[in-house]
Chain A
Amino acid sequence: MTRIGEILFVDSNILVCFLDVAHPHHERVMAMVRRWRNEDLRFAISPQVIGEAFRTLTSHSYTSGPLKAKTFRPLAERVKVNPSVLVVSPGEPAIDFALDAAVKLDISSARIYDLILYGTMREHGIARIATINVKHFSGLDGIEVVEIP
């Protein structure tokens, strides 16, 4: 049973699929987004999510037609100020959660960025994350991964 306003953390890959109609998984993600809307969920993002979405959408490696920063900026603003979206930032507890999980799961290198998202969620008491990279968030204490069918 979903409570109105229940919070779901959203990974950058979901944000990219949501915004970009050219993404091959746009419709797949939209089907889930419509469900979340019917449940009146709220999204949570962190500055890292916006940064990674920017990195993806403005990259020539991602697409043949990357966005310019001036195109991305107003989109990000509309997401950021939306009352259905909560922006949460990592503090010291997020670092502890991330590093403790890295030690426990013996994680190294760039996977730490997933763990900083995890730590940010734990710091703010957010228990669910929607992501395409389900396995990157599996086995982490205190959170549940929402799969996109």
Chain B
Amino acid sequence: MMTAEQALEIVRKLPKHERQRFFAQLDRERKAQPGEEEIRRGWDDLMALAGSINTGKVLVPFPTKEQLYDENW
């Protein structure tokens, strides 16, 4: 079994890019581990949002990135 200090030593040896990725993923693991019940409650609320808006007649169903980032679109 690896200790926290040993793990940290390995992290210190990672290239900068990989170290940043490690911390990004560690942060995600640390702050984002809701339980199964919480996830299911979240889904209930999410499903209540489904189809909750009606914008009328859709003219361009799937705008391209070029359109989305074009000021005149």
Residues of A within 8 A of B (CB): 4-5, 12-13, 18-26, 30, 33, 37, 40, 42-43, 52, 55-57, 59, 61-67, 71, 75, 78-79, 82-86, 88, 91-93, 96, 109-111, 113-114, 122-125, 132-133, 136
Contact = CB atoms under 8 A, between A and B. Distances in A.
Contact of A22 (B54, B62, B63): B54
Contacts of A26: 51
A40 B36 contact: yes
Question: Which 3 residue pairs across A and B have the least CB separation, nearest first?
Answer: A65-B56, A84-B42, A21-B51
A42 B58 contact: no
A130 to B, nearest CB: 14
A40 B49 contact: no
Contact of B66 (A67, A75, A109): A109
Contacts of A59: 63, 73
Contacts, number: 150
Interface of B: 17, 20-21, 24-25, 28, 32-34, 36, 38-43, 45-47, 49-69, 73
A109 to B, nearest CB: 7
A22 B58 contact: yes
Contact of B51 (A19, A67, A109): A19
Contact of B63 (A62, A65, A83, A109): A62
B53 A75 contact: yes
